[in-house]
Amino acid sequence: MPSKTLSIFLLAALPLAALPMERTELLPPEAQTYVRVSNTTNFWSMLKKSSIGKLWQDQQFQDFMGNPDADTWQEFIFDGEKDAEDEVFLEQLKMLNGEIILAFDLNSEDPYIIAMMGKEEFEKSLVLDDQVRDVMKEPFDIVRSSFQDVEIVQHVEKPGTGNESFSWQAHVGSTFVMGHTREWVEQCIVRLRKDEVVEPSGNPVLNINLPLARMIEDSITEGQPGVSERAMFEALGLLDIENFSSTIELRNDRLVADNILRIGAMGKGLFTILDVQPSELPTVTFIPEDIASIEVGRFNLLGLWQEIPNVLASADPAMKPQFDMLLAMIQQQAGINLEQDLLAHLGKKFVSFATVEGEKSDSVVAVDLVDGAAFKKGLETALAAPAMQPYVSVGLEIDDFLDHTIYTLKESDPAEAMGISIAGDYLLYGTPGGLRQVIRSVTSDAAANQAFERTELVKGLREHVPPRAFAYSAIDWKKSMDVILEEIAQPGYVSMIRQRWAMSGSALPPPDFDKLPPADHIASYFNVSYQYVEASVHGLHQKIILKY
């Protein structure tokens, strides 16, 4: 047979062949909110090798957590003592050791289960169902029937009452399905008898799917008279959000998460702040070599500002004049136009970094300025305006440092103070120590030294981030752990945790902060994480890489 004729014959025959499918294709349209694990046994095994898994198994960390034993965990999970019904439920869970999908109908909150299960395990589950019927406190019936030579098992809870509830389950090949309509179970049987299921392979994966469009729609209420909440959501761009999905893969040396936010249109509302043009690592000279984190990105603050009147007018036409009056009052008091004298001079690129020394952290965000001199003039004009002096004296400390002015916001705790300054064509926002560090570097003769290029974080960014990303960052968790634990161990935070724990009535013991492991011990389990965001044809794609 000529090759061309053979190709045509094969193409014509394709539709007649059984097409392989994934189990998620069986989900009904009303139950697209789901969690999926590709292989339950492998997932838990690989999770133990992760940073969190290893830390959880550490004895010092367990001492901090109060060393809860198996009985305590069971009491916590089952909200009291485990009874005979719970025992049977645990036995049924043990049989779900492969792929499993747990989905929900947002209307009725009824769960759907699709799972890999062998024939022997299914037969055992039927025996356990009979045991459940014998030990349940509430009435429970099991009704068996068949469809296309496949047994359908119906569970009836509280039969003969006004609170009856039903579910149906069946087993075909290597797949178990359970749902709350018989029609859906029958559709699954037809599909499973016709098409071969593709069994997951490779590293274990956790999938999460959230139909955000439906969730946002359900959250809209009538609101106050004259205010249209739907119009507000529309103007904010929230009604253009369609779906969120996440794929979390566990590898031997890292966790990799791919998150996708599907958006119908990104050019309005809150999304006007996004500038999705690719970002390059800057050639700035003020980032030190010993950074603990770095972030690069693009944003359009001016675009968002210009969108605010449209949002307000869409929600309530009366709000737009009020907003205009407020701006006019600010302009009169400050002597400047916020948009023309400040926001118009902001660029669209920023870079931020943090350094850590012991429990002390200094951080700076540097935003490009289109015209640094014009922005500086606008800021100084506003702060020097007579009407602004009471606010300036109460809220700001103004210091000169190496021919630069630092404006620090007054705080009751000096350790929490943040400030702004202008250095060249950058607006700087950060801790006073971080601002001085940048100004010192900018004015130094050694400013041409790009030390940060030698850091592992920057090398990793160049390795892991694609050229099309518009925002990305890296964090060295080992360097950052001292600061993180210092925040966690704050007396106010510890007191709040203890109070909430006591109010919860949890069976688990509260964390013993006197036994919180040292930072260097916890840090030994962690490494570096990288993340980036890029625009796609569907919306936004974020990737997170957490190395162990």
pLDDT computed for residue 167 by the predictor: 92
The helix/strand count (H/E) of the chain reads as 19, 20
What tokens appear for 236 in the block? 């904010």
pLDDT computed for residue 225 by the predictor: 62
Q: Are 188 and 172 in contact (CB under 8 A)?
A: yes
Q: How far apart are CA 25 and CA 184, in angstroms?
A: 12
CA distances from 175 to 172, 216, 285 (A): 5, 33, 59
pLDDT above 60 (res 416): yes
Q: Give the distance from CA 274 to its chain's centroid.
A: 18
Question: Sign (positive/negative) of CA torsion 262, 218, 248, 34?
Answer: negative
Q: Model confidence at 82, in pLDDT bands (50, 70, 90)?
A: low
Cβ density class 269-290: b for 16+ within 10 Å, e for less: bebbebbbeebebbebbbbeee
pLDDT tens per residue, range 23-59: 999 999 999 999 999 999 999 999 999 999 999 999 9
Q: Which of residues 297 and 449 earns the better pLDDT score?
A: 297
pLDDT computed for residue 16 by the predictor: 46
pLDDT computed for residue 84 by the predictor: 67
Q: Give the distance from CA 407 to its chain's centroid.
A: 34
What tokens appear for 206 in the block? 């956790």
Averaged pLDDT for residues 462-486? 95
Q: How far apart are CA 531 and CA 277, in angstroms?
A: 17
Where helices occur in 385-490 by DSSP H, the ranges are: 389-395, 432-442, 456-464, 477-488
Averaged pLDDT for residues 91-108? 88
Averaged pLDDT for residues 86-110? 85
Q: Which residue has the tokens 């031997």?
A: 252
pLDDT above 70 (res 15): no
What tokens appear for 380 in the block? 């100084």
pLDDT tens per residue, range 328-368: 999 999 999 999 999 999 999 999 999 998 888 999 999 99
- Residue 103's closest CA among 164, 182, 158, 178? 178
Q: Which residue has the tokens 């999460």?
A: 208
- Residue 406's closest CA among 391, 421, 393? 421
Q: Model confidence at 4, in pLDDT bands (50, 70, 90)?
A: low
Q: How far apart are CA 442 and CA 404, in angstroms?
A: 11
pLDDT tens per residue, range 132-190: 777 777 788 999 999 999 999 999 988 878 788 899 999 999 999 999 999 999 999 99
Q: Model confidence at 18, in pLDDT bands (50, 70, 90)?
A: low
Q: Are 232 and 216 in contact (CB under 8 A)?
A: no
pLDDT computed for residue 381 by the predictor: 95
- DSSP string covering 63-117: HHTT---HHHHHHHHTTSS--HHHHHHHHHHHT--S-EEEEE-TTT--EEEEEE-
pLDDT tens per residue, range 187-243: 999 999 999 999 999 999 999 999 999 999 988 886 666 667 888 899 899 999 999
Q: Model confidence at 12, in pLDDT bands (50, 70, 90)?
A: very low
What tokens appear for 41 in the block? 């046994």
Q: State the chain's mean pLDDT as an integer.
A: 89
Please, which residues bridge with residue 399 across strands?
406
Averaged pLDDT for residues 495-520? 92
Cβ density class 19-58: b for 16+ within 10 Å, e for less: eeeebeebbbebbbbbebbbbbebbeebbeebbebbbeeb
Q: How far apart are CA 112 and CA 127, in angstroms?
A: 21
pLDDT above 60 (res 408): yes
What tokens appear for 412 in the block? 């009751």
Averaged pLDDT for residues 279-290? 86
pLDDT above 60 (res 5): no
What tokens appear for 339 in the block? 């948009």
Q: Are 307 and 300 in contact (CB under 8 A)?
A: no
Q: Which residue has the tokens 């020097």?
A: 384
pLDDT tens per residue, range 360-371: 899 999 999 999
Q: Are 62 and 515 in contact (CB under 8 A)?
A: no
What percentage of the chain has pLDDT greater than the value 70?
93
Q: Give the distance from CA 529 to its chain's centroid.
A: 14
Q: Model confidence at 453, in pLDDT bands (50, 70, 90)?
A: confident
pLDDT computed for residue 445 by the predictor: 59
pLDDT computed for residue 10 by the predictor: 44
pLDDT above 50 (res 402): yes
Name residues whose C-beta falls within 8 Å of residue 350's C-beta, 6 or more positions apart in sequence: 295, 296, 297, 298, 299, 365, 366, 367, 368
48 three-class SS: coil
What percentage of the chain has pLDDT greater than the value 90?
69
436 three-class SS: helix
Q: What angle do CA 341, 347, 349 make, to 5 degrees?
A: 155
Q: Are 513 and 489 in contact (CB under 8 A)?
A: yes
Q: Are 354 and 292 in contact (CB under 8 A)?
A: yes
pLDDT tens per residue, range 235-265: 899 999 999 999 999 999 999 999 999 999 8
Q: How far apart are CA 304 and CA 175, in angstroms?
A: 50
pLDDT above 60 (res 7): no
388 three-class SS: helix
Q: Are 213 and 220 in contact (CB under 8 A)?
A: no
298 three-class SS: strand
pLDDT above 90 (res 506): no
Q: Are 434 and 363 in contact (CB under 8 A)?
A: yes
